[in-house]
Every structure is written in structure tokens, then in C-alpha cells.
Structure 1
Amino acid sequence: MAEQLWKGRFSKAVDSRVNDFNSSIRFDQRMIAQDMKGSGVHAAMLARQGIISEQDCEAILSGLASIADDLASGALEIDPAAEDVHTFVEQTLTARIGDAGKRLHTGRSRNDQVALDIRLTLRDYSHTLQGLIADLVRVLCKKAGENTASVMPGYTHLQRAQPITFGHALMAYVWMLLRDLERFADATRRMDAQCPLGSGALAGTTYPLDRQFTAEKLGFAAPCPNSLDGVSDRDFCIELAAAIATCMMHLSRLSEEIILWCSWEFKFIELDDAFTTGSSIMPQKKNPDVTELIRGKTGRVYGDLNTLLVMMKGIPLAYNKDMQEDKEAIFDAVDTLELCLKTITPMLDTMRTLPANMRRAAAKGFINATDCADYLTKKGMPFRDAYKLTGCMVSDCIAKDKVLEELTLDQLKGYSDLFEEDIFQAIDLVNCCEGRTSYGGPTAASVCSQIELAEAKLADWEEAQG
């Protein structure tokens, strides 16, 4: 068993069951690269301040590099008996370089160490997730560009409402995801604003640390100005988890649309065989399992966010062991979103659209009824009268299994003498879309403009990433 760091105060060994309960190595070992990065900068600062010798610093940096190399090659494995990743690194380092390894923890506590490690880790994860969101945005923009003329029903209350295009529908999700991208970037900016290293256990240290040096070397804007706050809050975890949960909500909504669109009742799209599954008993089935799982996993991520909020709500200053629970929740949220993004993006990239089916559904839904009423209004009829008259026409068409476009001019004049030959242009579904020229609408030009604007925002994001 790995040696406890606090053994000097205790007269007997900790019960093995407590060790197992207390251990976090199972999930915090994924922070080992960030832990060693922080340790290297801390050692350099200690030497710079004359707190440890340059020789000890060189030994520490060389030892950390050898640990990283051996982990990468498989020559070294993380000891599952270690209490946590910080203990494993320190004890492995000390076994390799002797007393110099024991000096690494000078002026530092595991409290500020773990606060640093999780910030560095989540920063890396946030950049990865942002890249995956950007990939999905690009695919959606590409698909939208291919479907600027694919007329389909737009829905409210899951009832056919007004004509839009498939490209217009996809761009709605692009804007949701671009806001998600902004949320991640904003959360990461705040995460990078303050470095907790040097806060100590809670009250700083008597050593003459250069906290500005460590903050700059680790990519932070400044040190945390309050040592209590530096070790005792996890609001940056909560903020990132909230951004993840919001993004998952958007993916879940898109998934619900995909599930509907690929059903036989809609059949607006067909998913590639590589991204669907079959049934063990029903040979005709082609199930959208990917989207169903995303819908289900969204609830799981909400649970992770709630775990963090509830964990923190009653904790007094400063560090408490409750906060060890932060990592499993936030890491699960990160892993879940990453998996969903890596799966849904190629699924959407390979899906096939069926514009003819979209058009048939649009025609059957009387989604040009508003345009018919607008036509009469422009001819001089009060809108409420036009609304009522068009409603009667729709009711009659339903009874006769017809659509508005199938009525003859004589039949239309039976409802109102205001109808002329130009009514057929007014209620043509393509014209109905193209006539909605207000900013952000479903016209082909509008969708193309939205794509250009979205791509410009992606370019700005890429530039900000350096």
C-alpha cells in the first residue's frame, strides 16, 4: 500500500475500508499530465525565489519528465493503491530522485494543487469540446447549403404551420450551437482568469512565493486574490457543466427532430446504415439509436450539473472532502458530450435528405393558408375576414380531400371575387418561402446569408484559439 502523507500525526494505520472510500486515484489519475505541469512550474518558481536549490529544481524537472516518458511508453503504471494522483506523482518522484522530490511540496497544499489541476484539465477539455461543436456547425452549414430549396412544413405544437426549407430548419440549430460555443469560450476565459496555486491549504504560506510567475507560466491572467476562495470554490466546474448541459439540450432537441424526420410518418430523411441499428425480431426495422441515446444521455448530464450544485450549496470555507465529488460529475459530463458530438456529426454528414417527401407533407398541411389570407388582405379585405374565409376554404378542402392549390379559379371566386389568376403564384409553396423576405427568414438568400455569417463567426472563434 502507498504510504500516507500525514503519517507523522497518527499512531495507527487507516482502516483499509476508509482508504478505499477515501481514494480518488480511480478518477483523478486522468489529471496526471496537468498535475506534473503544475509541479514543474511550482518547482521552477521555488528555485527562482531561492526556496529550493537550482540542483533540486533540475532533479525535480528531470524526474517529472522521466515519469511522463515512462507513463507514455507503458514502463510505468499508475498505482491503484495510491490515495490520489498527487500522492502517486510525489512518491514516484521521491523514489527516483530522493530528498529533492520531498522538497517539491514546499509552499503548497494538495488543496491548491487539486484546484489548479482541475482548472488546467477542464481548460483542455473545453478546447476539445469547442472544436467538436465547431465541427458539427460546419456539417450543419454544409447540409443547409445543400437544401436551401427543399420546402418542408414548419411546425408549432407539432402541427404543420408555415412553409420553410430544410436548410432554414438546420440553421436554427447552427445558431444554438454557436451560442454554446460562446458559452464554452466565456466559461473558459473566467476559468483562466485566476490561478489558485499558492493559496496553500487555505491561508497562503510564509514562504516568499511569486504567485504572479506561476500564474503567467500556467496560462492564467493573475493569481486568485483570496486564498480561501482559491481552494474552496468550484463555480468554474458548475459553469462548464451548465454549458455542457445546455449544449446537450440542443443536441437532444435536434435528435428528437431526427427521430421524427426519419420515421415512416415523416420520411424527410434517411440515416446511413452505419449510424442505425436493427431489431432482433423485426427485419424491417432501422432504428435511430444514436439520437435516442443522446436524448437519454442529456438527462444524465443534467444529473451531473445537479450533483455539483448540491455538493457545493452547504459547504463552509474552506476546503471540505465533499469537493472530491466534483471530478466524477464534471468528467462524466465532459465525456458524455464529447461522445455525443463525435457520433452525431458523422451521422448528420452521411444522412440523405428526401425533398420530395418534404414537399408532399408541405402541400398536405395547408401551410400556405396564411399566405392566402394575406393575399385577400392585400386586395382590400380586412385581415380577420380574410382569416375566417380562408379557414372555411381549408375546412371545405379537408372534407373533399383537396389542397388549396388544386382549387380552380372559378371555385376560388365562389368564395370571393377578389381572387384573380395571381392567387396561384401567391400560394405556391416555393413562392411562399421566397416571399418571406424579412431578416432571418426562410428564403434561399437568407439561408445562404446565415451560412456566411455562421462561417464568419467560426473564423473569429478559430482566430481566438490562436
Structure 2
Amino acid sequence: MTLWGGRFSSGPAESVAALSRSVHFDWRLAPYEIEVNLVHLKSLVAQSVVSKEEGGKIEKALLQLATEIGSGKFTYTKADEDVHSAIERGLIEKCGPVGGAIRAGRSRNDLVITDFKLYLVDHLLEIAAQITSLVQAFNAQAERHLDLIASGFTHTQHAQPITFAQELSKHSHGLLRDVDRIFDWLDRNNFSPFGAGALAGSSLVPKPEKIASELGFAGVMPNSIDAVSDRDFAAEALFIMAMIGVHLSKVGEEFILWSSTEFGWLEIDDAYTTGSSIMPQKKNADVAELARGKSGRFIGNLTSLLVVLKAMPFAYNRDLQEDKEPVFDSVDQLLLLLPAVSGMVATANFLPAKISKTAADGFSLATEIADFLAKKQIPFATAHEIAGECVKFCEKNGITLQQLTTVQLLTIHPSLTDEVKELLDVKGAVDSRRSSMATSKNSVSTALIQLKSEITRIESEISRRRKPLSGMI
């Protein structure tokens, strides 16, 4: 079914109909379409554009369609161009030509964006909930490893010893920023385009604010032309999902490295690995690899929509049909990926003996020497050079910093007295970093408590912002 054609002498060519058809992907907006139509119908009846009797028939048909869409009994056909035409066809089948009255005062232009925004509100909140579960998995692992000291890395080289719980919980902070971005998106984009019509507004929708409120929006968009042409909200949602994908890719990369024979820090649970069809011994970190691999897909979806939007003149253009598939794909892939990554993290078996064994490798305690000298009021640039001399001496003689003798230290610099040897210990190095952001056990433990509080706030916020569909599906 098409929603136009009166001024045409023939229908579109078969190739044009195929090119224009979007119902096979925009059908997922059907529950939101029903919701919007139910609210719009109330407005039409209130203005006597549709009689109460006819409004009752249409409402009954919409609610029946809602149930049938939910059960799969009603769906689109090959003749339907899009979700809007499919649902209007269903209405007319149920209540006759009066079903077509629902189209008064609205256009597909404002209707589809309203549906799309409602879809994104629901699904971004679900993504936020899934991210929260992943953060809880990281925090639980971190709490189990508060006493474990590991080597920290920069440039993938041993840097300084750290509390391993801090290494794990760093992901929690990045992921919670993603959740905050979702909340920011909701605050910025929770405005209804409905009532904009094709582009100029509609005399049959004099109070779009009332419709917006009933749909759960904070208000209406102030410019009807912008309302039908804006896809900032979709691009911004894709950026948020791409950023989540980048964070998940980082998690995946670390789990791949940690579980390698070369690191040996981690055993990934069998349930979150796969084997090889030819090598019986293999246990592959496929969840982690797919987390890393899918980041390209999320970034690609964002880039795809930005290119569509880069030269879009005036109001609505059909190019904007290309806005939904990248969003749907990113949503689907994230909701597929997040539970698997959460399970991988929650069930991971970290190996403390292996992790702690290398904490002092790579002369990771050299900074303790520089800090010791700085506390003696030696300029840090000079102290840095002296610490470097210590490392060079150790490399030349095949020893570690901890093995330097008092005589050797004093030979390198007279300020390197015996007290410095007490600092060349991974536990002492970690414990000395006591600021709120640093790596001591107390600092990390306090940060984990704060993360728990933040999760409670976020869960409450997700619950507050979620609303059930009025369409009963």
C-alpha cells in the first residue's frame, strides 16, 4: 500500500518501488507508530476532526493491531512501502475507509522521527542498563583483587607497579561516562517533532505540546523545518554507541593479551571461548576478539550517517531514509555484545601468582629513586637523570634495582643513601600513592565504594526515565 498517488497517472516503476521500500527494516518501529497514532487520535477527536464514534472504531482497531503486531499475527506484506503504509493498511482492513482518517494533521516526515526518537529512548536506556551490569562485573573482580599488585603499562611496556584492582576498575569509569553520555543525549534530544507535518506545521495539530507530554517528551522542537530534517539525534546516538564500542574493544584487547601464553595472567571461562576445528588444544578468546572487531562496525555506522547528512538542504529529503539501518545495526550489535562481554569479565579467572611475579620487571621502580631524590630538594630533572643512571648500571651488570648495593648507589650519586633501598619494593611504591585518584589499596577501595554509589544513582535514573508503551505491545 502507498500513501500517495492521486496526482500520478501510474505507479512507480518496479525498480523505484524496490528502491523506495523500507518496511523490511523500519517495521521494528511499529510499536512506537501505534503509540503515536493512539495519542494523535485523541487530539483529532478532541478537535472534532474525527467523530467520537469513528475515533472509537479507530482506537479499537489500533489496539487490536498492537496485540497482533506483538504476537506476529499482523505484519507487513510485499505491497507495503513502509511501516506507516503497513499500519494504515491494517487499520483500513479492520474498520474500513475511516481508518485513513488517522493521517489527518501528520506526515510521514514528522511521524517517522517521532517513532525513531521513541525507539532510541527505549533502546539507549536498555544499553545503559547492560553497561551497568558490565561495570558491576568489573567492580566485583576489582574487589577480589584489591591486594594484588601488578605491573602497570604505558606504550605496552612495563611502567610502574599498580594495584590490579585499579587496572580492572579503570574500565568502570570509562563505561560510566558512556552511560552519562546517554543521559545527556536524553536531555538534549527528548523533544518531540510531532506536529511539524511535512515541514510547515499543521493547522490540525494546534497543541503539539500536549501530544509531546503524553508521549513522554519534555517538550516540542521549536522549528518545524528543523524538526523534520534534524538527524543530529541519530548521529549523536551513533557516536555514543561507537564510543561504547571503542571501550569494549579496549577491554577485548586486554583480555586477549592477558590470556595469551606470553602473559598468562588470565584464564577465560570455557563458556566464553571457542576451539579450533583443526587444533585440539586451542582455546580462543572469541568474545574478546569480537568485541575488538565490532568496534569497526560501530565507527563505520557513525561515519555512514555523517556522510549522508553532510550536504542536506532545506527540510526533509529522501536521503534520510538511510538514517535508520546504521542505528538499528549498532543497537542490535551492542545488545548482542554487552551480555557476552559481561559474562566473560564476571567469570574470568585471574592468576595472582603470575600477575604479581612481574610487578617489578622492566625497572618499574625507577621512579621511586627519582621521587626519593626530589624529596631531598634535588631538581626532578636531575633526579630523573640519576635514576636513569641507576637503570643503565643495572642493565650493564645484569642486576635489578633491588640488588644495588649501598656502595653502588653512592657511587652513582652521593645522595642515594641506604634509605632509598627501603623504597625499592612494589608494595611500598603502591602504598605511597595515596591521593584520591591514585593506586594505593585504600585509594582504590574508596574509589570502588564511590562507583557503587554511582551505580545506584544510575540504576535509579534508568528506572525513572523508562516508561511503558501506551500501545500495550
| Residues 142 and 12 of structure 1, relative CA distance in 2, 3 Å threshold | same
Q: 2:198 aligns with which of 198, 201, 215?
A: 201
Determine if contact 1:145/1:447 at 8 Å carries over to the other structure: no
Greater relative CO, 1 or 2 (CA 8 Å, sep 6+): 2
Q: How many Å separate the matches in 2 of 1:253 and 1:354?
A: 20
Structure 2 counterparts to residues 264-343 of structure 1, below 5 A: 264-343=261-340
User: How far off its partner does 1:168 sit?
Assistant: 0.8
- What secondary structure sits across from 1:7 in the alignment? coil
**1:145-173 Cα deviation digits (max 9, x unpaired):** 11122111111211111111211112222
Q: Residue 358 of structure 2 aligns to a residue in which SS?
A: helix
SS of the residue 1:175 aligns to: helix
Partners in 2 of 1:462 and 1:81 — Cα distance? 43
TM-aligned CA distance change 1:85 to 1:335, over 3 Å: same
Write out per-residue CA displacement over residues 257-313 of structure 1, whole angstroms, 9 at most, x where no aligned residue: 221111122222221111112223333322212122222211111111111111111
Aligned length: 463
- Supply the distance in 2 between the matched residues of 1:14 and 1:199 (Cα, whole angstroms): 27
Q: What 5-or-longer segments of structure 2 have no aligned partner?
A: 465-473
Is residue 16 of structure 1 aligned with residue 23 of structure 2? no
1:259 maps onto 2:259 in alignment = no
Q: Aligned runs of 1:114-263 on 2, under 5 Å?
A: 114-192=112-190, 194-207=191-204, 209-263=206-260
The one of 345, 361, 364 aligned to 1:364: 361
- Further displaced range: 316-325 or 381-390: 381-390
The alpha-carbon distance between structure 1 residues 185 and 222, as it changes in their structure 2 partners (threshold 3 A), is same
SS at the partner of 1:79? coil
Overall identity of the aligned pairs, in %: 39
Letter in 1 for 2:289: E
Structure 2 SS opposite 1:290: helix
Q: Secondary structure of 2:152's partner?
A: strand
Give yes or no for contact 1:45–1:209 (8 Å, CA) kept in 2: no
Task: Note the C-alpha offset of 1:88.
Answer: 0.4
TM-score w.r.t. the length of structure 1 is 0.94
SS of 1:398 mapped into structure 2: helix
Amino acid at match of 1:369: A
Alignment pair present for 1:89 and 2:91: no
Q: Which residue of 2 aligns with 1:79?
A: 77
31, 34, 37: which one aligns with 1:33: 31
State how far apart, in whole Å, the 1-side matches of 2:96 and 2:405 are.
95
Q: Which residue of structure 2 aligns with residue 449 of structure 1?
A: 446
Return the offset for 1:185: 0.8
Does the aligned pair in 2 maintain the 1:123–1:191 contact within 8 Å?
no
Measure, in 2, the Cα distance between the counterparts of 1:112 and 1:387. Answer: 63
Q: State the shift of 1:4 in Å.
A: 2.2
Q: Residue in 2 aligned with 1:436?
A: 433
Note if contact 1:143-1:167 (Cα within 8 Å) is conserved in structure 2: yes
Contact 1:151-1:429 at 8 Å conserved across structures: yes
Residue deviations 1:335-393 (CA, integer Å, cap 9, x gap): 22222212111100011111221222222221111112323443565544543343233
Poorly superposed stretches of 4+, deviation over 6 Å = none
1:346 and 2:360 equivalent?
A: no
CA contact (8 A) 2:259 2:266 kept: yes
Is contact 2:276-2:283 (8 Å) kept?
Answer: yes
Structure 2 letter corresponding to 1:11: S
Equivalent pair of 1:211/1:223 in contact (CA under 8 Å): yes
Q: Deviations over 1:102-154 (max 9, x none)?
A: 11111111111111110111111111111111111111111111112211111
2:107 corresponds to which of 101, 106, 109 = 109
For structure 1, which segment, 312-321 or 76-85, has the greater mean C-alpha deviation from structure 2 after superposition?
A: 76-85
Residues 228-273 of structure 1, C-alpha deviations (whole Å, 9 max, x = no match): 1111111100111111111111111222122111112222222111
Alpha carbons 2:151, 2:361 under 8 Å: kept: no
| SS of structure 2 residue aligned to 1:303 | helix
Counterparts of 2:192 and 2:382, CA distance in 1:
66
* TM-score computed with the length of structure 2 as normaliser: 0.93
Q: Give distance in 1, aligned partners of 2:391 and 2:364.
A: 10
Listed one character per residue, the Cα deviations across residues 161-189 of structure 1 (whole Å, up to 9, x for unaligned) are 11112111122221111111111111122
Distance 2:18 2:2 in 1: 13
Report Cα offsets for 1:1-45 as digits up to 9, x if no partner: xx3221322212222222111100111000100010000000011
Residues 208 and 297 (structure 1), Cα distance of their counterparts in 2 relative to 1, 3 Å cut: closer
Contact 1:163–1:432 (8 Å) recurs in 2: yes
The equivalent residue for 1:60 is: 58
Q: 1:354 to 1:225 in 2, by over 3 A?
A: same
- Say if 2:91 is the partner of 1:98: no
Q: Aligned to 1:162, what secondary structure does the other structure show?
A: strand
Q: Which amino acid aligns with 2:27?
A: Q
Letter in 1 for 2:121: R
Is residue 115–residue 196 contact of structure 1 (8 Å, CA) maintained in 2? yes
Structure 1 residue ranges without an equivalent (≥5) = none
Deviation of 1:416 (Å): 5.1
SS of 2:160's equivalent in the other structure is strand
Cα distance in 2 for partners of 1:372, 1:149 equals 24
Q: Deviations over 1:30-81 (max 9, x none)?
A: 0100010000000011111222111222211211111121223333233243
Q: CA RMSD in A?
A: 1.9
The alignment partner of 2:43 has SS state of helix
Distance 2:364 2:205 in 1: 73
Determine if contact 1:308/1:329 at 8 Å carries over to the other structure: yes
Offset at 1:417? 5.6
Which whole-Å CA distance do the structure 1 matches of 2:422 and 2:148 have between them?
A: 18
Q: Distance in 1 between matches of 2:15 and 2:218?
A: 42
How far apart are 1:411 and its partner, in Å? 4.9
